[in-house]
Amino acid sequence: MQTQTHDLTFTDTEVRKRFVSWDDGEPDREWACLTVLAEHAPGLAPRPIRRETLDGHPVVVMERLAGEPLGNRPLSPAQTAALGTALRRMYDVPLTALHAAGIAERRYGPSTQAATVAGWLDGSADLSECQDPALVAAAVRAAHRWLASREPAPEQGLTALGIADLNPANVIWDGSTCRLVDFEDGGLTDPAFELADHVEHLAGRLASVYDATALADAVGLTAAQRDRMRAYRPLWAAFWLAMLLPGNGGFRRNPSGTTEAQAIHLLALLS
């Protein structure tokens, strides 16, 4: 399950990202992604400056980008177009460069995510703290059935670099251009898998930040990629339902009723 993995400090020109947990290679993944982007898509993400160690904790120091994170409101057409351009630049980084940089599959990637989510939705959660335990239980059962019987989305393979976490706070907007930050979970992926992840991200979905069709248009997904994106969306909706079950951080951090709203959303996708 997701936990806070880092803290940030800022100067006028630099951001110091100190990792508080790094069991899954987060600092190495961040550094590798930023390094390859600096060479093949300069300006898309912070330029990596140096690596440090502070009190035994790994630190990645990167340049500070101009602009502000996207807010909790729907993107304007200009913002959607700019974000699509940014994502397309990332997806177009040559695969040979990613392999040469030693970049592996992203965290929660296409090859493992269905089994991971099924394990989390194993029916062991105590739902008594939910507003509507019966509704949440029905969604958990429906998700588990779907995960057990689903026909996997037609695989394209790991063909592109993905950021893995498009929380609107990780998109920096300067009035004309979108830039991306937070690559600690990034890695090789399928763009359709990424877009499904992005439009289902709870922080963006609850505020309707991303329009799924408009963002797919802006990125330039093919018809086959759009089909895969639709097929992957219930998987990510189930991921967020798992995050919002009692006992998990998402349940504590979000307002009462968020779990029920996610259950309704997932059931609608599965129907």
Which H or E element spans position 254? none
* Residue 12 CA neighbour count, 13 Å, CB half: 0
* Residue 264 CA neighbour count, 13 Å, CB half: 8
Identify whether the C-beta of residue 75 lies closer than 8 Å to the C-beta of residue 137: no
CA distance 212 to 141: 26
261 pLDDT tier (thresholds 50, 70, 90):
very high
pLDDT value at 229 more than 80: yes
Instruction: Determine the average pLDDT of the residues in 152-179.
Output: 91
Tell me, what's the pLDDT at 157? 85
Tell me, what's the pLDDT at 21? 86
Instruction: Determine the average pLDDT of the residues in 162-190.
Output: 97
Bridge partners (DSSP) listed for residue 68:
173
Which H or E element spans position 136? helix 133-149
Instruction: Determine the average pLDDT of the residues in 252-270.
Output: 97
Identify whether the C-beta of residue 204 lies closer than 8 Å to the C-beta of residue 166: yes
The single residue listed with the structure tokens 């248009």 is 217
CA distance 18 to 6: 5
164 pLDDT tier (thresholds 50, 70, 90):
very high
Which H or E element spans position 189? strand 187-189
Q: What is the bridge-based pairing of β-strands 160-162 and 171-173?
A: unpaired
Tell me, what's the pLDDT at 6? 85
Tell me, what's the pLDDT at 198? 98
Tell me, what's the pLDDT at 2? 52
Q: Could you tell me the two tokens for 93?
A: 């980084």
Q: Could you tell me the two tokens for 237?
A: 């909706």
153 pLDDT tier (thresholds 50, 70, 90):
low
pLDDT value at 1 more than 60: no
What domains does the chain contain, in order, with CATH numbers? 65-110+149-270 (3.90.1200.10)
176 pLDDT tier (thresholds 50, 70, 90):
very high
The single residue listed with the structure tokens 């699509």 is 84
Identify whether the C-beta of residue 160 lies closer than 8 Å to the C-beta of residue 191: yes
Query: What is the per-residue pLDDT across 98-151, written as a single tens digit (0 to 9) for each?
Result: 999 999 999 999 999 999 999 999 988 999 999 999 999 999 999 999 999 987
Q: Is 49 helix (H, G, I), strand (E, B) or coil?
A: strand
Instruction: Determine the average pLDDT of the residues in 13-26.
Output: 93
Report which DSSP code applies to 210.
-
Which of 125, 132, 98, 115 has its CA nearest to residue 245?
125
Other CB atoms within 10 A of residue 264 CB: 14
CA distance 266 to 90: 29
Q: Could you tell me the two tokens for 209?
A: 């930040």
Query: What is the per-residue pLDDT across 70-80, written as a single tens digit (0 to 9) for each?
Result: 989 999 999 99
Tell me, what's the pLDDT at 249? 87
pLDDT value at 235 more than 70: yes
Which of 177, 182, 154, 155 has its CA nearest to residue 166?
182
Identify whether the C-beta of residue 207 lies closer than 8 Å to the C-beta of residue 167: no
Higher pLDDT: 257 or 153? It is 257
Report which DSSP code applies to 18.
E
Query: What is the per-residue pLDDT across 48-74, written as a single tens digit (0 to 9) for each?
Result: 999 999 999 999 999 999 999 998 999
pLDDT value at 258 more than 60: yes
How distant is the alpha carbon of residue 250 from its chain centre? 15
177 pLDDT tier (thresholds 50, 70, 90):
very high
